[in-house]
Structure 1
Amino acid sequence: MSIYRKVQAVERVFSNLEKELAAFKNATGLHCISGCGLCCKKPDISASPLEFLPLAYSLFKEDLAYQWLEELQASGSEPICKIFRPLLTDGDTGFCSNYKYRGLICRLFGYSAMLDKQGTPQLVTCKTIKTELPQAVLTAQQHIAEGKKTPVMRNYYFQLRSIDSELGQNLMPINQAILEALKIVLSYYAYRKPRRA
């Protein structure tokens, strides 16, 4: 499968997820606390290169891929996500500088469920949401317990793996995943013309 087709397939998974997340948020009242961004500051976020292929492809089309590649290589083992923007300026809506192309974990965390050892879905959210929105958290937990439609992390990771099992299951630090996605796109198009899309 070509890189372009893989990017399209990942974007379809993300599009379906966004619809499911919107319905879950609407039904439960869960939402991020304005101006927070604490989850983006975690130094141990893992991701797969596959979930960042759309970002890498977008950067390639904008002639920014080599610049990002060099910056990521120069930053070494910097643990904070390169897409994270620590300071907000007027007009900024959030801390992600490339929100459209954020990874799967960035989309799922806070508004999804993980299966416990018994296979029972349990809400995955942050301490800030639990503290600031306790009623919404209770509503979400009840929603999940009643078996209502809930985004389940495992299901979306399996969908990504079905696109490319190797790229989808190889979890690594988030900046390394972005770097690997860039290398994949750049090496693929080193001797090919990119599609006009």
Structure 2
Amino acid sequence: MTLYRKIQAVERVFKGLEKDVAAFKHVTRLECLVGCGKCCNKPDISASPLEFLPFAYHLYKRGLALEYLDRIKDHPNSNCIVLSPLLIPDKPGFCSEYPYRGLICRLFGFSAALNKYGNPELVTCKSIKETYPDAVEKANSHIMEGKDTPIMRHYYFKLQSIDGDLCSKLMPINKAIEEALKIVLSYYAYRRPRSA
């Protein structure tokens, strides 16, 4: 599979996930707190290079890939490089590249993980639990009743089927972005990017 086809496949997974999360949020009434961003404000978020290939390709097409590589080299152990310190007007939060965020960014707060017994449990933050206890209770009931719920593992399996090696390499989020950028830059060093 060509790199461009991998990028398209990842984008299809994300598009399906967006629909699933929107439906889950609609039914449960779960939502993020306006102006929060605490979940993103951590340097230890893990991700894979595969989930950031669409972002890397987006930066490459805009001529910003090398600039972002330099930014990562200057701040290797910091919070995600696309996290804005201020709330961005007309954006859903603090992410300056929200449409290109990774899988964990899309899943956290509005999905379930399987516990050691194989049962799904809501994965959300303390702030949502404390602010919207009724919605959290509704989400937990929804999950326990076996209704449609985004399950983290299922989406990681979908990515795994696109490229098992790139998906299984979990690393700090900036390192994952850096690896994705290097993959895109090396692939297109002697090729022209597709017009998309």
TM-score, normalized by length of structure 2?
0.98
After superposition, residues 1-197 of structure 1 pair within 5 angstroms as 1-78=1-78, 80-197=79-196
Secondary structure of residue in 2 paired with 1:113: strand
Q: Is the 8 A contact 2:83 2:96 kept in 1?
A: yes
Letter in 1 for 2:135: A
The answer (yes or no) to whether the contact 2:92–2:98 under 8 Å persists in 1 is no
Question: 1:141 and 1:109 mapped to 2: Cα distance?
Answer: 15
Partners of 2:108 and 2:129 lie apart in 1 by: 13
Name stretches of at least 5 consecutive residues in structure 2 with no aligned partner: none
TM-superposed deviation, 1:165: 0.3
> What are the superposed Cα offsets for residues 120-167 of structure 1, whole Å, 9 maximum, x if unpaired?
000000000000000000000000000000000000001001100000
Gaps of 5+ in 1: none
Contact 2:28 2:139 in 1 (8 A): yes
Look up the SS of the partner of 2:83 in the other structure: coil
Query: Does the residue aligned with 2:136 lie in a helix, a strand or coil?
Result: helix
Give 1:77 shift.
2.4
Deviation at 1:92, TM superposition (A): 4.4
Relative distance call for 1:169 and 1:25 in structure 2 (3 A) is same
User: Cα–Cα, structure 1 residues 49 and 146, in superposed 2: closer, same or farther, change >3 Å?
Assistant: same
Percent same amino acid at aligned positions?
62
**CA-atom RMSD in angstroms:** 0.9
> Once superposed, which parts of structure 1, at least 4 consecutive aligned residues long, lie more than 3 Å away?
89-93
Shift of 1:76: 2.7
Partner letter of residue 172 of structure 1? M
The CA distance in 2 between the partners of 1:75 and 1:112, in whole Å, is: 30
Which AA in structure 1 matches 2:93? G
* TM-score between the two structures when normalised by the length of structure 1: 0.97
Aligned residues: 196
User: What is the CA–CA distance in structure 2 between the aligned matches of 1:154 and 1:89, rounded to whole Å?
Assistant: 31
Amino acid at match of 1:149: D
* Alpha-carbon shift at residue 71 of structure 1 (Å): 1.3
